[in-house]
């Protein structure tokens, strides 16, 4: 892949990037009403979801996954993500979708934030990047962006507390 295609239009220094990131995390943690909430947009199967940035850890390309016997079909196995052993979940299968998230060229692993206390990663079909839920129209539980795409909120914190999600064994 051509690396210039991935390069941002304007390069920023690492220090500037870190300052922006710290500012966003602090604003989200303080619930700053003057700032718009940022979520991470991901695809799970064909559905689009918004994940709170405070719940998400790292986003990494798929790595080798070691299957674990006698586990649920949606539990893909264990992977080494930057020296940490994490369980990998195919959320499309967990939700009962007909299709799997499939780790294609656009697939990624989204790890849970350390504050959730769960060494886990979700296999997502695609990462869309930052989204501003405040700029979207509410339509029941779903949100609709200016391009008429529907998004569902996905709480990794709530998922980490679900009994079914925690019981990966058969």
What domains are there in the chain, each with its CATH number?
Answer: 36-166 (2.40.50.180)
Q: Bigger pLDDT: 24 or 142?
A: 142
State mean pLDDT over 119-124. 95
The answer to whether 110 and 59 have CB atoms below 8 angstroms apart is yes
Q: In whole angstroms, give the CA distance from residue 46 to residue 155.
A: 18
Range 114-127 average pLDDT = 94
Least confident of 11-20, 45-54, 122-131, 160-169: 11-20
* Burial class of residue 130 (count of CB atoms within 10 Å of its CB; 0-12, 13-18, 19+): exposed
Assess whether pLDDT exceeds 50 at residue 115.
yes
* Cα dihedral 59, 62, 67, 73 sign: positive
- pTM value is 0.74
Position 66 scores a pLDDT of 96
């Amino acid at each position: 892949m051509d690396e210039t295609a991935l390069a941002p239009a304007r390069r920023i220094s690492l220090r500037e990037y870190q300052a922006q990131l710290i500012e966003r995390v602090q604003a989200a943690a303080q619930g700053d009403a003057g700032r718009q909430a940022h979520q991470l947009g991901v695809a799970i199967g064909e559905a689009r979801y918004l994940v709170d940035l405070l719940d998400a850890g790292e986003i990494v390309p798929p790595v080798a996954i070691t299957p674990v016997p006698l586990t649920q079909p949606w539990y893909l196995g264990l992977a080494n993500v930057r020296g940490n052993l994490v369980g990998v979940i195919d959320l499309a299968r967990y939700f009962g979708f007909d299709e799997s998230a499939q780790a294609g060229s656009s697939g990624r692993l989204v790890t849970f934030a350390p504050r959730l206390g769960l060494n886990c990663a979700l296999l997502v079909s695609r990462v869309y990047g930052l989204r501003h839920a405040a700029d979207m129209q509410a339509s029941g539980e779903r949100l609709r962006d200016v391009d008429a795409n529907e998004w569902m909120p996905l709480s990794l914190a709530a998922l980490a507390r679900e009994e079914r999600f925690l019981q990966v064994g058969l």
